[in-house]
Structures are given as C-alpha cells and as structure tokens.
Amino acid sequence: MSKQNNVETHTFQAETKQILHLMIHSLYSNKEIFLRELISNASDALDRLRFAAIADDSIQDEGDLCIELELDEEKGLLTVRDNGIGMDRDDVIENIGTIARSGTRAFLDQLTGDAKADAHLIGQFGVGFYSSFIVADMVTVITRKAGDEVSQGVRWVSDGGGEYSLEAVEKETHGTEVILHLKADEKEFLSPWALRSLVGRYSDHIGFPIRMQETGEDDEPEWKDINKASALWTLPKGEIADEEYQSFYKYLTHDMDDALAWAHNKVEGSQTYTTLLYLPSTAPMDLMLQRDERTGLRLYVNRVFIMDAAQNLLPHYLRFMRGVVDSADLPLNVSRELLQENELSGKIRAAVIRRSLDLIGKLAKDGDEKYEPFWAQFGAVLKEGIVEDFGNRERIAPLLRFASTKGNGAKHVVDLAGYVERMPEGQDAIYYITAENHSAAAHSPHLEVFRKKGIEVLLLSDRVDEWMMAYFNEFEGTPLKSVAKGDIDLGKVGESEVGDEDKAETEETKTLEKDLLEKIQAALGDRVAEVRSSRRLTDSASCLVLGEQEMALHLQRMLEQAGQDVPESKPILELNPGHPLVTKLGSEEGGRFDDLALVLYEQALLSEGAVLEDPADFVRRVNQLLVG
Ligand code: ADP
C-alpha cells in the first residue's frame, strides 16, 4: 500500500487480475449482464438496510428506498446509485478489493481456454461487481455506511489493472454509487432506451423501484420509475410469464443459464407463506464441497428480506435448490437461533422439502430426456437424502436413477420401481454392486451368475453410493442386496438359461473339498477370513466377498488414502469350483500350490480394482506358473 495526499493505493491479490482478464474476455458476448449484477447488488444493499433498520435504532429506513440510473452522455458515465446499507472502508477492502475468494485457485484450474465453456464457469463463480470492467475502463465507487455518524464516505477507484485506490470523501447520505466510465465503444449503454429495455428484461421484478432521469414535459429532467418493482413472488401465478420467472431466477442467483424448473406456491391458513423454488440447470462449482455456509434460499417476512436461510430451511441434500420464502407470520426480528427451534419455520422447512421433491418428481415424470440432465448434475447430491432424511426416504427413493446390467451402458436410466417390475418370479431382492467406476462395476466377476441367469444388477459407481447403500436396505418392501457381500443363493431364480443338465453339474461340483479349502486358507495366511466355494462365479476363477455389514473394498481404499481409520475387515475368497485353475490346485504340491493359491487371490484383488502391494512378485509367480 502506498499513500499520497490521503489517497492510498492497494494492489489486488495476484489471482484477481487473472480473473478480471479472463472474465472480460469470456463474458464479452454477454456484456450487458453487468447491469443486472449492479442492480442486484444495489437491491441487496436496500434489503439489508431495511432489515438493519428493524434491529438498529441508529439506522433509519427513510422509506424511499430506490435504485437510480444516471447517464452523463458528455462524459460517458453511467451511474448506478442506491440508498442502501453502504460500506465503510474496511467493507470496501474486504468486499470489492477481494475478488479472489476461497476456491479461486481451484476455479482457475478448471478453466479450459474455450471461451464458451469458461464463460459458463465464470458465470457460476459469480462475477458480480467486477463485470463492470467488461464495459468500463475505469470504475469509481463512492459509498457510505448507514449508521456511521460522520458524513464521511470512501471512494474506490480502479481501472481493473493491478491496483485500486482508496480515499476518504464527503458523502451526505448512506448508500453506494457505482460510476462506470464506459469504454469508447460501449456508449450504447448511455441510451435511456437501451437501459430501459435491459431493466425490463433483467430487473423488472426486483422489490424496489429503479429510476432513471428522463426529460419531462417542460423539458425539465425528472426521475421516472422504469421497472414494475413488485416482488415477483407476491404476484398471482397466472399473471407471471415464464420469461419473468426466468429473469427473476437470474437476478436471484446470478446464474447465466435458465432455471430447469420452478414451483411457486402460496399457503394460506393457520400460517401464511409463499415459496418460490427453482431448480438450476447446472451445479455451481462448490456444490460437492461440504461447505457450511450455504446460500440459495432467501427468507423474507412480509417482503422484507431477513436473511439467507438455506442453512435453516433447506436440508444439506437439497443444497442445489434456489429461491425465496416469504412468511407472513414469522417475527421481523427472527434470528438464526430462533429459526432453528421455531415451530413455524419447522413447518416451512418441511414444506420446502416436500415442494422441492415434488418439483423433482414432476421433472422425472416428464421423461428421461428432461430428467437425465438433472440427474447428471444433482443426482449424487440427492442421494445423500436417503441417509440424511429418513422421514422422506420414500419420496426420495423413486427419484433415484441407476446404471444397470439391463440399462443403457453407463447411463443412469433405471429406477427402482422399474427394476422391481422386471424381477422374475422367485427373485426377492434388488441386486446391486458398488465399485470405483462404471466399468469396474460392469465387469465385476460378482455379476457372472446373475448374467447367466438373466438377473438384473444395478451398477453403482458414485462416491456416495457405498455410504448410501449402507443405510438403504429396502425399497417399498423389497430388500436391496449387494452381490459382493454375504452369501448369494439364487436357487431357482431366473430365466432357465441354466438348463437342467447344467444345474445338475453345478449341484455336483458346487463345493470344493474341505481339505483343499483349508490348505488354500493355510497358504494365504491372514490375508483372507475364509476360503469357500462360490455360487456367484461362472467364468472367473476367484473373487472377494465381504460380510453383509462390511464396507466395500474400493471405499476402504479410498478412506485409507485419505488418511482415515478404516475398521479392520478381511474379505472372504470365493473360488469357482468349475474353473480349470481351481481344479488344477487339487493336483499341485508345495511351492507351486502356494503360488497358485496366491495368484487366485491376487486376481480377485485385481478385478476388484485394487493395486497389488507387490506387483513384481505377482508377475514373477504368474510367469513361473505359465512356464510350468
Ligand atoms: P456478490 O454480490 O456475489 O457477493 P460482488 O462482487 O458483486 O459479489 O459484491 C461483493 C460484495 O460487495 C457484496 O457481497 C457486498 O457486500 C458488497 N457490495 C457490492 N455492491 C454493493 C452495494 N451497492 N452496496 C453495498 N454493498 C455492496
């Protein structure tokens, strides 16, 4: 920081400059969004002033909260002014001196260099105030915080390069003025007509009037309202066009894409409240991160913005939902703590969950074409609900989609009800396998007997799956069962692809001799808990099986890599009694017997997706056996 005549010069964080540069280039084709962003900030500032005035006597809500757009054609200036909460010096440094917030690095790493894809990412990152630099080569912010006694404000100036300056200035009223020095070729934003049309498109239904100076009848300039200024959710559904819902969504979320769907409901009765919930079409970057500060659901009490109440009104697994809740009955001074235990807010929360799940359900009913994109974006998050929200499990379960041995490759298109419908007579469980990735699941030896008998198996490879399935034991009365855990006895289930002859054969060779099993067990030592004959394998020689309650091996590995304690558990080695390698064991002795037993175990590990502890040793053993 350097100082001269009370003007301090600060440098942006290193990453800020990079982001600004990228943003200006990749958002250029959408440059008019700067206006929406600035109006949205101004409207937030007005919301916050109104709220602060309730709690703090030193802050007055003078009643005429509004946003002004002022044009100076001669100087090429466009000013967006609000009489909202304003900022003090520290706020300015914190809020607009810092674009690089947590996650910036990760964000930059995701950029591809492809303008279109990057624009999309940048939009999700939330460019806000900085989008001003798309059209302006210099931006001045003059602001004063409400409640500050001295009539001093702060002036922030930057050209979007590496630095900004700060200076104390006189300012009579609280609020913020953002003055854009428009670039020479962006003068179109000095046309009142163009601004009107942009406001109409983007900001018609924010809750505050937007005013612009226009020439009145006697040539005197006068301020005119140029938006409808009616909070969108307060209007009757029938009067709202889809485009209006969409533009309100963008105002609310700063998303550049349309919402996928929305639900607008008003509840009247013992409690009156309105919910307007949106399903975004793409997931924001940090969705999968386990963040505590969640945003996305704004709580209003009688149109007064109170707080972002996503934490209180939205469960974690619905953290992708966006929207507004407006309650007529909550007290204006409701605090987070109060929301936590308040009975009314409990009811609102339950309603928000129900409506969100209904909205998703409706999308699912509309068919795969609509549902697939949703599922691809948010499915893995929604699955957390199976664990987190027992009370709504029955609503969530039908919304789940899986890849399946009878589905469409790796696509998640199979639902549980459909699976149950397809179950052949005698099948009494929904079978699934979890693995590190789709191909490991699809090619697992555990599926062999199921394939042979034509029994469908769900192929689960999302990170959350193993965790979810530990809690998810039945669907509408049908148990869910992992094909890699416990004992599998398909008995007579399945299309009779296994002819009677085959059956007799399986029956006959079903078990390996006890002596042999014990000998193998001795050769493997404490690597496995047990060695037994398999009823799962038809082609492969061996596979590893876990107890019903044990954690899948791929998940154990993942947790171990993440440095977590994993409960000690040993797999069972199952051998295919019909496989020539296994039969061969019976006639081997000594070192060759031990080597072959070990190779069978190692093969099972490999097909599980594991990495062998000593791959070179494995290769040596296999080669020796091959040379034989
Ligand atoms: P975002 O709005 O997504 O937080 P911005 O970069 O647009 O990101 O703004 C950063 C912060 O600067 C805001 O969160 C707010 O605290 C502050 N800010 C921006 N514009 C205003 C304004 N007109 N009045 C008061 N504070 C503002």
For 16-225, give the CATH class: alpha beta
389 pLDDT above the threshold of 70: yes
Residue nearest to atom 4 of ligand 1 (CA): 128
The answer to whether 485 touches 529, Cβ cutoff 8 Å, is no
- Quote the strand ranges of 125-233, DSSP E: 136-144, 152-158, 163-170, 175-182, 210-215, 221-225
User: Quick count: other Cβ atoms within 10 Å of Cβ 554?
Assistant: 21
Q: What is the CATH number of domain 509-628?
A: 1.20.120.790
Name the pLDDT band for 106 (thresholds 50, 70, 90). low
For residue 126, give the ligand 1 atom closest to its CA. 3
What per-residue confidence (pLDDT) applies to 500? 47
What per-residue confidence (pLDDT) applies to 510? 63
**510 Cβ neighbours under 8 A, 6+ residues apart:** 533, 535, 577
For 401-495, give the CATH class: alpha beta
What per-residue confidence (pLDDT) applies to 226? 92
386 pLDDT above the threshold of 90: yes
Residue nearest to atom 3 of ligand 1 (CA): 128
Q: How far is the CA of 51 from the centre of ligand 1 (A)?
A: 16
What per-residue confidence (pLDDT) applies to 332? 79
Pairing of strands 297-301, 304-308: antiparallel
493 is written with which tokens?
Answer: 């289930």
Name the pLDDT band for 508 (thresholds 50, 70, 90). very low
CA pair distance 150, 227, nearest whole angstrom: 34
Percent of the chain with pLDDT over 70: 90
Q: How far is the CA of 281 from the centre of ligand 1 (A)?
A: 24
What per-residue confidence (pLDDT) applies to 506? 47
For 232-377, give the CATH class: alpha beta
What lines the ligand 1 site, CB under 6 Å?
37, 41-42, 45, 82, 84-87, 95-96, 126, 128-130, 176
User: Quick count: other Cβ atoms within 10 Å of Cβ 573?
Assistant: 25
DSSP sequence for 408-432? STT---B-HHHHHHHPPTT--SEEE
CA pair distance 605, 543, nearest whole angstrom: 7
Q: Which of 20-29, 88-97, 136-145, 218-227 has the lowest mean pLDDT?
A: 20-29
CA pair distance 578, 538, nearest whole angstrom: 8
| pLDDT 10s digits, 292-330 | 556 789 999 888 888 888 889 999 999 999 999 999 998
For residue 37, give the ligand 1 atom closest to its CA. 7
pTM summary value: 0.79
For residue 82, give the ligand 1 atom closest to its CA. 23
CA angle 559, 560, 561 (to 5 degrees): 90
| pLDDT 10s digits, 209-260 | 999 988 767 777 889 999 988 899 999 999 999 999 998 998 888 788 899 9
Q: How far is the CA of 129 from the centre of ligand 1 (A)?
A: 7
175 pLDDT above the threshold of 90: yes
208 is written with which tokens?
Answer: 């505050």
540 pLDDT above the threshold of 70: yes
CA distance to 333, 367, 439, per residue, from 59 (Å): 15, 52, 61
**Residue of 492 and 369 predicted with greater confidence:** 369
For residue 99, give the ligand 1 atom closest to its CA. 6
Pairing of strands 458-460, 430-434: parallel
What per-residue confidence (pLDDT) applies to 94? 84
Mutate to test the pocket of ligand 1, among 23, 41, 286 (most ligand atoms within 8 A of CB): 41
Percent of the chain with pLDDT over 90: 56
Torsion region of 563: left, alpha or beta (phi above 0 gives left; psi -120 to 50 gives alpha): left
Q: Which of 339-348, 494-503, 613-622 has the lowest mean pLDDT?
A: 494-503
For residue 128, give the ligand 1 atom closest to its CA. 7
Q: How far is the CA of 112 from the centre of ligand 1 (A)?
A: 27
123 is written with which tokens?
Answer: 């939009």
Q: What are phi and psi of 223, to 5 degrees?
A: -80, 130
Mutate to test the pocket of ligand 1, among 35, 129, 177 (most ligand atoms within 8 A of CB): 129
What per-residue confidence (pLDDT) applies to 569? 83
Domain ranges of the chain: 16-225, 232-377, 401-495, 509-628
**Sequence-ordered alpha helix ranges (H) in 115-262:** 115-125, 132-135, 192-202, 242-253
Same fold flag, 232-377 and 401-495: no
**Average pLDDT in the 66-84 region?**
96
Residue nearest to atom 25 of ligand 1 (CA): 86
CA pair distance 488, 433, nearest whole angstrom: 13
